[in-house]
């Protein structure tokens, strides 16, 4: 864990990281609303930029093209303040991306047991380009886990509601002076 007291107020970005199905795009707007910040979903930003859904970007242009656009969008977002950013599941695998997120904010890993991630991903109701079968899902998860573990804050999400997860994040970030206590709005 890193101490943020020296630069916490210089950059106000919270990056939600984690594997597909971890709830980054669901928890992000609730968290942002609770602290009165903007919410940015990087995958949605990429879809709008390229004008294709993520699964079509992968199918038509390939993963390398997607990762380059992802890095470009992260570079742009990292210049902002007061935003909660939902990252793609593979963003943390790139050292430059991790360095940029660390320099411009904090990374919070939404950690789930892999069985719950698989269930969440299957229930999400939209296509995921790297979700082929259960075995490849688990293999990909375990290959990425080492990068998620480098997060500044790790939130164990199993058996928690969205509200519980947001409250746990709020307790963690206020403890590290990422947000002021008076920035936290009442949450329903």
Give pLDDT, residue 119. Answer: 86
Question: What b-and-e string marks burial along 99-128, b requiring 16 or more CB atoms within 10 Å of the CB?
Answer: ebbbebbbbbbbbbeeeebbebbeeeeeeb
Give pLDDT, residue 122. Answer: 76
Determine what percent of the chain is predicted with pLDDT higher than 70: 84
Q: What is the pLDDT of residues 126-185, one digit of tens each?
A: 555 556 678 888 899 999 999 999 999 999 999 999 999 999 999 988 776 777 655 555
Q: What is the pLDDT of residues 48-81, one digit of tens each?
A: 999 999 889 988 999 999 999 999 999 999 999 9
pTM of the model: 0.88
- Angle among Cα 52, 45, 162 to the nearest 5 degrees reads 115
pLDDT surpassing 90 at residue 3: no
For residue 46, give the nearest of 63, 32, 28 by alpha carbon: 63
- With bands split at pLDDT 50, 70 and 90, how would you rate the model's confidence at 2? very low
Round to the nearest angstrom and report the end-to-end CA distance of the chain. 30
Give pLDDT, residue 158. Answer: 95
The mean-pLDDT minimum among 26-30, 39-43, 132-136 falls in 132-136
Mean pLDDT of the residues in the chain: 87
Kindly list the distances between the CA atom of residue 86 and the CA atoms of 19, 34, 121, 132, 180, in Å, as whole numbers in the listed order. Answer: 11, 15, 15, 23, 21
Give pLDDT, residue 137. Answer: 86
* All domains of the chain in start order, with CATH: 13-176 (3.40.50.300)
For residue 169, give the nearest of 11, 33, 20 by alpha carbon: 33
pLDDT surpassing 50 at residue 15: yes
Give pLDDT, residue 129. Answer: 56
């Amino acid at each position: 864990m890193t101490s943020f007291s020296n630069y916490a107020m210089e950059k106000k970005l919270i990056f939600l990281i984690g594997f597909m199905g971890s709830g980054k795009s669901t928890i992000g707007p609730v968290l942002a609303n609770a602290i009165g910040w903007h919410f940015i979903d990087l995958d949605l930003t990429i879809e709008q930029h390229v004008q294709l859904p993520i699964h079509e970007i992968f199918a038509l242009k390939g993963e390398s093209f997607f990762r380059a656009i992802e890095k470009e969008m992260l570079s742009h977002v990292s210049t902002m303040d007061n935003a909660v950013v939902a990252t793609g599941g593979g963003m943390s695998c790139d050292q430059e991306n991790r360095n940029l997120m660390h320099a411009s904010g904090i990374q919070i890993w939404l950690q789930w047991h892999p069985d719950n991630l698989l269930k969440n991903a299957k229930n999400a109701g939209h296509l995921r380009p790297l979700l082929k079968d259960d075995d490849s899902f688990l293999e990909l998860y375990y290959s990425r886990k080492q990068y998620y573990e480098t997060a500044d804050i790790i939130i164990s999400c199993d058996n928690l509601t969205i509200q519980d997860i947001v409250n746990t994040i709020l307790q963690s970030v206020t403890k590290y002076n990422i947000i002021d206590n008076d920035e936290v709005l009442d949450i329903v």
